[in-house]
Structure 1
Amino acid sequence: MRHILRLPPFRYAAAMCCVMVLLLVGPRATGGEMRTWTDKTGKFKIEAEFLEVLDGNVQLKRADGQTISVPLTKLSKADQTHLRELARKNREQDADPNNPFGLGAGGPAPRGPQAPRQPLGMAGAGAAGLSADDFGMPGGGSEFQVGDEVEVKDGLDYVPGKVVGIGSGGTQVFVTIDGTGETESVFAREPWLRRPGGEQPGGGKSTPTGSVGGYELTAADLSGIRRVVPLGGGGGEFTPDPGADKLIAAKPVGLSPRRGFFEDIEAVNFTGAERAVVACQGGEDMHEKSSTVEICNLATGRSEGYLAGPPKLKMAAVTASGKRVVTVSEIETFKYGPLQVWDVTGEGLQHVASWQGSTDKNRGQFEWIGWLDEDRVLTVDDNNAIAWAIDGEKIRGDYQIPVRNGARPAFSPGGGQFALPANGSVDIHSVATGERLARVPVEGASSGSQVAFSPNGELIAVSTGPFVKVVAIAGGEQLCDAFAPVRGDNVGLAWAGDQYVLAGGRDLIHVGTQTVAWTYEHSAQFVRGAGGKCWYFLDDRHSNQRALLPFSLPQPGVTPVPEDQLALAPGAQVALDLQLAVSYNSDGDFRGDVEKKLTSDLERAGFVLTDGANATLVARLTPGETETVEYRTWGISRETQSVSVTKQVYELELLVDGQSVWTRKSTQDSPHHLQLQENESINDAINRVMKPTTGYFGAGVPARVVKQDEAERRKSEISLHGLQ
């Protein structure tokens, strides 16, 4: 299967990065010389240029320009020896620090502010749940230590040796080969390096040690970690945790201006109602790796510290006291480094400890990090939510909760409970012990749902596709089901008082009437609820001003929408009108599929499908703009091909007496990436990917639609100038 990447001008650099990544899968050509290649029987020969070894196949380019793939095992012994020597030469070149194109180039490993150079560690023993096997080293750290017996890949075979040194950043190790006495620099990962006999390191009672990004990893103790099993919390027995998180004298926090055009806001993370941290990375240069951490006091409206952070910062969280910060950085492209804890001092961030905390063994990615209290960090990855206890330089696993696909937690107002969404339910856990206190059935919920506790801790709001539901934790009664799409994790759900839920920072839902009572237009990158306020992170590039602004919502004058101001409500009769440019696709009766889907959506909303009704749902599919798109193949050849792609425009519109009361439009654009199937051209792949699909008509329609004039009256704008 070939991979093709779309190349608009602004994606050219990224595409080249993808090409370079794929070049590293095996031996690489050092020249462009032709060679006579022979199969192992000696009967067949060919003149060709070597390109690469990929998935056990040798890629060769013939004199006529055609590329062929030959299984490595079918080549002659002489050709296999040639490839073995070529692999050895490539490793030596990559390890040469004077080679600007080598894999070991790039200068010294990044060091965070106030970084100590001494190892930080402690011995660990025995864990019933997690072990070292669960923690990979995708962030560039080495799981090997000086003195380890290893095997080095030597062409097609492995030869035994011993680790005699660890390279900068831990991505390479130095191995003395048994018998020859030669010392080689080797990548510290499969397939270049492995344990004897292919044995994987594991069974350990602590997280892996080594070095990542210039920091020695602490061996976090897993011996006493408790695995929380999905039991308990039944019978409706639940004690809410309202706490004191009602109202605070919140003030706007003016933030430091951008350091340059290429600075990105990586995270805005709140800890209770006390503090927030803003993490940024980049600057004037598009390759800038430096970062900043800004700590905000929400009660005083002051920025308490604008500090240099570790390079390539991706995530950060601050304790409620503002005395400690935990961070995660990108160590390699698309791969994340360890957790790092820092003390906040007058001189900046002082490094305390680093440890490998992600059980995502592929990329080391975390979905969420935050503080449970002053001494414990909660991390969530694709597999587990783990609470880590921090005692000076010592790290200990406290409890582990299996999760799926990186569910993001939401905390109760009192801070003693947190909710984790799952498929069809939301689990409520104790912050202190991890114990599951309740399981709340929520139809349509998934691990990607957003969740928010009500101020009294008795209810949760949950996003389920384009709908927001409000459910009682004790008993599971559903109190609200409103149409209010939440787009993105950073602008999720927040309660605005006891009767309203803010969805996406935009739609203010009145729980009792299940209707959007007010709409706030905004351009905030992050919206959060804390301390009884709705906080908007606003960034104006033109004036280079940015701030965290708290709003007390709903503002005076907001009231629920009365029934007589609804254009449509459950029970109304609605007709269906399909205006589709395409009736059939490669899957069959497209028109029939659309009719079936939209009929189901109307019935879910409580409407009665009736021909000739004065209300009509119109579905349109029309051809959009035709554009010429360039695609480049991944790998050595990097061929470019231009194709014409016609966009598809999907539109839904609700009409009442011929007047539009609600619309939604989406466009099927040309794909950024294609996977060509066997014997498939790019044009064939475009036609396959761009075939009409019902998914672009969305996941539902609103059950309660406010009249247009009334809806326009119920709108405001939120910006750096305030609420208008």
Structure 2
Amino acid sequence: MISRLHRCEFLGCTRRQAVAASHKRMTNRAAWLSWTAGLLLVLSSSSLPAQESRTWTDATGKFKIDAKFVSLEGTKVTLLQTSGEEIEIDLSKLSPGDRKVAQDLAKKASENPFQVKETNPFAPKAGKSSTGGSPAGPSMPDRTAPGGTEPAPAAGNGTYTGRDAQLTSSVDGVTELLLTPQSDKLALPRNDAVVDRKLPSRGIALPKKANFFEKANSMLVHSSKPEAVVLYHIAPPGQSPITRVVVLNLETGKITAQGQVPNLYTGVAYGSDGLILVRQVEHHGKGNKGLMEGWIVKGKDLAREWSWEPAKGQSGRDEELVWGEILPDGRVLTANEGGKITCWKTEGDEMKALWRLQAQGSSRPDVTRDGKYMAIVADKQCAVMDLEAGEVVATVPTKGRHLPWPRMAISAEHSRMACFGFDKIIVWDLQTGEEIREIATGPISGGAAPLWLDDDFLLLGGHLLVDVKNQLRLWDYTGAEMTTFYDRTGLFVVGGPSQSSSLIPIALPHPAAKNYLARALQDPNLFILKEGTQVAIDVSGIQDAAQQAAIKDKLTAKLTQRGFVVGASGSIILKASTETGKSEKMSYRSFGEAPWNAKEYNVQSYISRLKFVWNGKDVWEGSGNNIPGFLSLSKDETIEQALKKHEKPNYHFFEHCEIPKLLTKPAENAAAGSSTSALGKSTVTISGLQ
């Protein structure tokens, strides 16, 4: 979807009627998930007959559990593990031997008139949870939307239940800020008083996951205490999703509180006063994506303080919350998908808007660690805002460069600012306001916000370490399910055997990465593409010969602008090609329509591709296709007719695709086309870096 949205801006659409697309793919994994739905674990408050625990195997032989037989009702077998977890499985999905065991035990149970019932003391008070997971404390009530009246029981000993207030919003008298800077030059005073907190180097064992479907979603770190909150999503197919919450002390490694809540939530911020800010996310069209909640931990109790809809009454992108922050003085910042950033102050059960400004849609701002400054991107410029004064300090231009889904990063020392947009980074020196780097990174996986480790190193996607000074993809930290930071110590959630997981703290950059960098920089041939390099252009792969000359001219201009020398031959070749892809199934719907109202269309795809080739090896590649992520329909035009116009190679790609300024020599064992990989790589395991 990222490349599709990236590409759509090159198609020059005018939006008389906008139609959004999503690509439906049926994978083997999806089919497998559907098949295994019968194996999901379920929490229950029902009772069970006393039976011995044994190993049960499913019909495929791949899955085994140790559990007691509870009952056979119709075709449903209920089992109970020693932890108190109940499991429901269709009889037909057990192995033939275990089917007979279940039937025999059910027969014996029905013949026993004095059967004893063992109550699960950790089960929810009513109904069954869809988690099948370890007991996580009592549940907070559902808040798909504010308006429920049931109390909010706490997790823990139940001494604190939370206010569970429903906050209202007031925008009366809100100040509409414009990106009008107070100064014509960006120059922040450097903050050299930053002190990073330290943690013991040992790993921290996390609670065992319920099943295959439980995934760590987000983690928040307290701004002043060594405390973290981990949110897990448990969303088995066909069952109601829940969020499991675990609060732990990062110094002792002990769990201090845990609980669960219906629907899926993702962490937003963890305030100095202990307020945990979360937002609800949609799941298969259900859930309130405009709902934000404040949870509180007191002792062993975890409860909801309030629920709130900042964008209530809005629609489309303005309705969906995507970012938030809690400032040291208790003010709350929110941003919606449409780019509106608002600063709120709590007054009783009302959130009062103090100011708001319009940033770029789908962007993510960043706030300095001390809460003084915020970096935003909007209207072809980036800006730094003084949050205490409520004014824009200064702006810097992005010079028309394409930056889709931009994420900002501003360093703790107030010395560096970066804007990362899909496949490139722009970096500014905040003391001088000068742009000091533009680095073509290629697409980076991972949704973690970029983080400055110091003035020279930036971490992208929670795993890729970039050496900004030398414009290198230095190191890739793989193997983690999720990453966040305790100041500048990485906290990696790593899975282990049998659904176990651990939190591994690692100070970054680690010494081996720095040592490797020092050695690599001694190699005079480290960079195979740099300013002054002679590059040859090969357009013979363009299927339509009539387009070859025009594309070669565009590529010549692009390379010259980058500082390269274009010649008939060169040490490195830029190859352009097009190819006919396969017919793709696309679903389109009008903006505002429910996803289930989308209709499918067959679209013939064409691939446009650029490659840098060095010594016969592909060292960089960029590609795009012709399928639009959005359509703009003229009067009386149908979707079929609009799609037919796009059934040809996307030649705009060759003009707008960003090519790198620097390329490093690939490693001897590098796979073809792996130029976007880092110089080095480590896997984070439960034992540390490997």
TM-score, normalising length: structure 2: 0.64
Q: Give the distance between the partners of 1:662 and 1:412, measured in 2 at CA.
A: 37
Q: For residues 127-526 of structure 1, what are the structure 2 equivalents within 5 Å?
A: 217-223=166-172, 225-229=174-178, 230-249=180-199, 251=201, 252-270=203-221, 272=223, 274-298=226-250, 300-320=252-272, 323-330=274-281, 333=286, 335-346=288-299, 348-358=301-311, 361-363=314-316, 364-373=319-328, 375-381=330-336, 382-390=338-346, 393-443=349-399, 444=401, 446=403, 448-487=405-444, 490-516=447-473, 518-520=474-476, 522-524=478-480, 526=482
Query: Which secondary structure does the structure 1 equivalent of 2:525 belong to?
Result: helix
Residue 388 of structure 1, CA deviation: 2.3
Residues 172-210 of structure 1: per-residue CA shift (max 9 Å, x gap): xxxxxxxxxxxxxxxxxxxxxxxxxxxxxxxxxxxxxxx
| Cα 1:438/1:286, change in 2 over 3 Å | farther
Q: For residues 460-609 of structure 1, what are the structure 2 equivalents within 5 Å?
A: 460-487=417-444, 490-516=447-473, 518-520=474-476, 522-524=478-480, 526-539=482-495, 543-545=499-501, 547=503, 549-556=505-512, 557-560=515-518, 561-562=520-521, 563-583=524-544, 590-592=547-549, 594-609=551-566
Q: Give the distance between the partners of 2:648 and 2:501, measured in 1 at CA.
A: 44
Partner AA of 1:483 in structure 2: A
| Cα 1:261/1:699, change in 2 over 3 Å | same
Number of aligned residue pairs: 531
Q: Is the 8 A contact 1:256 1:306 kept in 2?
A: no
Q: Give the distance between the partners of 2:450 and 2:372, measured in 1 at CA.
A: 19
Q: Is the 8 A contact 1:631 1:642 kept in 2?
A: yes
Residue 464 of structure 1, CA deviation: 4.1
Partner AA of 1:429 in structure 2: M
Partner AA of 1:574 in structure 2: V
| Segment of structure 1 superposing worse, 1-10 or 561-570 | 1-10
Query: Percentage identity across aligned positions?
Result: 18
Q: Give the distance between the partners of 2:598 and 2:322, measured in 1 at CA.
A: 36
Q: Is the 8 A contact 1:257 1:546 kept in 2?
A: no
Q: Give the distance between the partners of 1:528 and 1:653, measured in 2 at CA.
A: 34
Q: Give the distance between the partners of 1:532 and 1:218, measured in 2 at CA.
A: 35
Residue 548 of structure 1, CA deviation: 5.3
TM-score, normalising length: structure 1: 0.62
Residues 370-401 of structure 1: per-residue CA shift (max 9 Å, x gap): 22136332111124322223356453334333
Q: For residues 36-55 of structure 1, what are the structure 2 equivalents within 5 Å?
A: none
Query: Which secondary structure does the structure 1 equivalent of 2:167 belong to?
Result: coil
Q: Give the distance between the partners of 1:405 and 1:627, measured in 2 at CA.
A: 31
Residue 693 of structure 1, CA deviation: 1.1
* Alignment correspondent of 1:718: 683
Residue 520 of structure 1, CA deviation: 1.1
Partner AA of 2:666 in structure 1: Q
Query: Which secondary structure does the structure 1 equivalent of 2:210 belong to?
Result: coil
Residue 522 of structure 1, CA deviation: 1.9
Q: Give the distance between the partners of 1:513 and 1:300, measured in 2 at CA.
A: 39
Q: Supply the RMSD in Å over aligned alpha carbons.
A: 4.6
Q: Is the 8 A contact 2:21 2:588 kept in 1?
A: yes
Structure ranking higher on relative contact order (CA contacts 8 Å, 6+ apart): 2
Q: Give the distance between the partners of 1:483 and 1:4, measured in 2 at CA.
A: 28
| Cα 1:215/1:414, change in 2 over 3 Å | closer
Q: Give the distance between the partners of 1:303 and 1:312, measured in 2 at CA.
A: 21
Q: Give the distance between the partners of 1:115 and 1:428, measured in 2 at CA.
A: 40
Q: Give the distance between the partners of 1:454 and 1:672, measured in 2 at CA.
A: 34
Query: Which secondary structure does the structure 2 equivalent of 1:603 belong to?
Result: helix
Structure 2: give runs of 5+ residues left out of the alignment: 1-16, 32-137, 151-162, 671-677
Residues 438-481 of structure 1: per-residue CA shift (max 9 Å, x gap): 32334437583222223532111222452223211233212222
Q: Give the distance between the partners of 1:383 and 1:640, measured in 2 at CA.
A: 29
Partner AA of 2:663 in structure 1: V
Q: Give the distance between the partners of 1:372 and 1:672, measured in 2 at CA.
A: 37
* Alignment correspondent of 1:30: none
Partner AA of 2:563 in structure 1: G
| Segment of structure 1 superposing worse, 444-453 or 670-679 | 670-679
Q: Give the distance between the partners of 1:297 and 1:679, measured in 2 at CA.
A: 62
Residue 291 of structure 1, CA deviation: 1.4
Residues 112-147 of structure 1: per-residue CA shift (max 9 Å, x gap): 955699xxxxxxxxxxxxxxxxxxxxx8669xxxxx
* Alignment correspondent of 1:655: 613
Structure 1: give runs of 5+ residues left out of the alignment: 15-111, 118-138, 143-166, 170-213
Partner AA of 1:325 in structure 2: I
Partner AA of 2:680 in structure 1: K
Query: Which secondary structure does the structure 1 equivalent of 2:552 belong to?
Result: helix
Residues 243-291 of structure 1: per-residue CA shift (max 9 Å, x gap): 4343522654443343344445443345547554333333445432321
| Cα 1:437/1:528, change in 2 over 3 Å | farther
Q: Give the distance between the partners of 2:587 and 2:349, measured in 1 at CA.
A: 50
Q: Is the 8 A contact 2:146 2:307 kept in 1?
A: no
Q: Is the 8 A contact 1:661 1:706 kept in 2?
A: no
Partner AA of 1:564 in structure 2: N
Residue 603 of structure 1, CA deviation: 2.8
| Segment of structure 1 superposing worse, 533-542 or 239-248 | 533-542
Query: Which secondary structure does the structure 1 equivalent of 2:667 belong to?
Result: helix
